[in-house]
Amino acid sequence: MEQHRNRLKSLREEALRGGGEKRMEAQHAKGKLTARERLDLLLDPESFEELGMLVKHRSTNFGLDKQQFLGDGVVTGYGRIDGRLVYVFSQDFTVLGGSLAEAHAKKICRVMDLAMQNGAPLIGLNDSGGARIQEGVVSLGGYADIFYRNVRASGVIPQLSAILGPCAGGAVYSPALTDFVFMTEGTSYMFVTGPNVVKTVTHEEVSSEDLGGAKTHATKSGVTHFTSANEAQSIDHIKRVLSYLPQNCEEDPIRLEYQGSDESRPKLDSVVPESAQQPYDIRDVVSEVCDAGSFTEVQKDYAENMVIGFARLAGQSIGVVANQPAFLAGVLDIKASTKAARFVRTCDAFNVPLLVLEDVPGFLPGTDQEWNGIITNGAKLLYAFSEATVPRITVITRKAYGGAYDVMNSQHIGADLVYAWPTAEIAVMGAKGAAEIIFKREIADSENPEATWKEKEADYAELFAHPYNAAARGYVDEVILPHNTRAKLIRAFEMLKNKVDTLPRKKHGNLPL
């Protein structure tokens, strides 16, 4: 037995060495952790159970048979985060650059299959030079095997992807198919083709950082949902996001214990400025309405006219979708619509109720928006809300104009409840624009057009710049004082907690992509 024990011990030690000390030092010198150090940070102590530690590739191409590393460049298995089961894979850049080929892909697919069969989240820690060039087409096949599983698992179990190193070529598509992407500043990159190929094809000179670094994807493309200064922070973000989500689509998110008494929030009474033209930060409303410190903003530097994120209300996990009057007046444009639509669908897939805070002057006009498809892209948000079966409540804080009124979770498209503050203005458009159109002739013919315009504007505002027409129709369930908002929402979401709503039988809908 002693002999057997020693053999196993030595194999295990070999696997733990990865690509060797020198490469591990190089990894640390770049400010990166090793695959196993990352898992230590991610998982509860002593909870990790490794699978396939002794797997080897079987390629003989280009001398690869002489480069055997136990585990084949990826550490896979299962463990616990805050006591909850998760499946993980962590690519080891010290082994052939974390490159993916047959055996490496098979190990990832195995944990994906287990995650699906057992209904628990899958977390991928990506750090890889992409398809292992020496192994050829089996590397491509391996990627496709993973993509296929990502899609099958979509909406069934939460899938989270941390990008902790290079991520090029096909390697970007698995993270893109998952629910959340987390990038680290300075050490992680995502691009379909790197700077060299870009230069050859388009003659553009661009650095890896500018082409596909964390900042680029956080601000320009929206590919990443979270950006962190270092890997430890990225891993903290993963844990936090998981805490709002259930294990799978059949379960509800965990509800934290909550014992509150005074739910009145007087600060809310003075958030909306006197003038309708003046901006305010919708996050001030979010932080007052939701449990203290519970808001985790998603894609915070992308399409800032729309604020999205997870929060808690009396301990219950909710998704917040809010127009941001402090940025472009909170207008709905292509980026804001797609950002919110994706988040609404993520929440709906995982039974997270939705709170919508509405202050929107309408859709953004212009050739740029029209030519790039604001019609199709705005329709995505309309579609996402209309399709969502989770409890959903809207609070109109100020403007709810035009098509944007319909789109932002109106009662007509299935909101369970719509509240409005007394400052709400619910109309086809703002009073100034409306007066200009309706009274065009009177204004033009008048001796003092400016004064006539102002007068007509005031008439229109008197008639429509308030919530009471909508309330008279029942489109607004209740006009509430801002300080009561939190108390109302806690009761309302409690009332809706057993909501059952089903979609008509179909293969799947046809989201306007």
Residues annotated as catalytic are 169-170, 403-404
Report the residue from 146, 153, 171, 417 that binds ligand HXC according to the rule CB under 6 A.
171
Report the residue from 77, 121, 166, 330 that binds ligand HXC according to the rule CB under 6 A.
166
The nearer residue to ligand HXC, 142 or 391, going by C-beta atoms, is: 142
The nearer residue to ligand HXC, 23 or 380, going by C-beta atoms, is: 23
Strand pairing class (306-313; 296-298): antiparallel
> Cα dihedral angle (48, 52, 54, 56), rounded to 10 degrees?
-140
- 130 phi-psi bin (left φ>0, alpha ψ -120 to 50, beta other): left
| Segment 5 to 44, residues that bind ligand HXC, using CB under 6 A | 23
| CA max distance for the chain | 107
For the bound state, the minimum distance from the C-beta of residue 51 to ligand HXC, rounded and expressed in Å, comes to 23
- 151: burial class by Cβ within 10 Å (0-12, 13-18, 19+)? exposed
For the bound state, the minimum distance from the C-beta of residue 96 to ligand HXC, rounded and expressed in Å, comes to 5
Residue with tokens 């907690």: 497
For the bound state, the minimum distance from the C-beta of residue 71 to ligand HXC, rounded and expressed in Å, comes to 15
Q: Which residues pair with 319 in a beta bridge?
A: 310, 354
DSSP notation for 150-206: HHHHTTTS-EEEEEEEEEBGGGGHHHHHSSEEEEETTT-B-BSS-HHHHHHHH----
Distances (CA, A) of 349 to 228, 264, 391, 443: 26, 32, 12, 51
CA distance 318 to 342: 15
**Helix (H) or strand (E) run with residue 240 in it:** helix 231-244
| Segment 419 to 478, residues that bind ligand HXC, using CB under 6 A | none
CA distance 304 to 93: 35
CA distance 25 to 9: 24
The nearer residue to ligand HXC, 170 or 467, going by C-beta atoms, is: 170
The answer to whether the beta carbons of residues 359 and 396 sit under 8 Å apart is yes
Report the residue from 77, 79, 170, 253 that binds ligand HXC according to the rule CB under 6 A.
170
For the bound state, the minimum distance from the C-beta of residue 415 to ligand HXC, rounded and expressed in Å, comes to 41
Per-residue DSSP letter, 363: B
Report the residue from 169, 195, 213, 391 that binds ligand HXC according to the rule CB under 6 A.
169
The nearer residue to ligand HXC, 23 or 339, going by C-beta atoms, is: 23
The nearer residue to ligand HXC, 134 or 452, going by C-beta atoms, is: 134
| Segment 292 to 351, residues that bind ligand HXC, using CB under 6 A | none
- Candidates 163-171, 311-319, 333-341, 351-359 — which segment interacts with ligand HXC by CB under 6 A? 163-171
The answer to whether the beta carbons of residues 107 and 55 sit under 8 Å apart is yes
For the bound state, the minimum distance from the C-beta of residue 25 to ligand HXC, rounded and expressed in Å, comes to 12
For the bound state, the minimum distance from the C-beta of residue 295 to ligand HXC, rounded and expressed in Å, comes to 36
CA distance 331 to 286: 18
- Candidates 161-169, 264-272, 295-303, 437-445 — which segment interacts with ligand HXC by CB under 6 A? 161-169
- 166 phi-psi bin (left φ>0, alpha ψ -120 to 50, beta other): beta
The interface mask with ligand HXC, positions 259-278, x = CB under 6 A, is: --------------------
Please give the single-letter amino acid code of residue 407: V
For the bound state, the minimum distance from the C-beta of residue 89 to ligand HXC, rounded and expressed in Å, comes to 17
- Candidates 166-174, 245-253, 318-326, 387-395 — which segment interacts with ligand HXC by CB under 6 A? 166-174
For the bound state, the minimum distance from the C-beta of residue 257 to ligand HXC, rounded and expressed in Å, comes to 46
> Using the rule CB under 6 A, is 399 a contact of ligand HXC?
no
Query: Residue 506 in 3-state DSSP?
Result: coil
| Segment 111 to 150, residues that bind ligand HXC, using CB under 6 A | 129-134, 140, 143
The nearer residue to ligand HXC, 162 or 443, going by C-beta atoms, is: 162
Token pair belonging to 491: 């009761």
Report the residue from 168, 306, 322, 434 that binds ligand HXC according to the rule CB under 6 A.
168
CA distance 370 to 351: 34
| Segment 81 to 110, residues that bind ligand HXC, using CB under 6 A | 96-97, 99
The nearer residue to ligand HXC, 145 or 288, going by C-beta atoms, is: 145
Count the residues of the shown chain that bind ligand HXC, applying the rule CB under 6 A. 17
The nearer residue to ligand HXC, 143 or 401, going by C-beta atoms, is: 143
The nearer residue to ligand HXC, 131 or 311, going by C-beta atoms, is: 131
For the bound state, the minimum distance from the C-beta of residue 116 to ligand HXC, rounded and expressed in Å, comes to 21
The answer to whether the beta carbons of residues 231 and 239 sit under 8 Å apart is no
Which residues of the shown chain bind ligand HXC in the complex (CB under 6 A)?
A: 23, 96-97, 99, 129-134, 140, 143, 166, 168-171
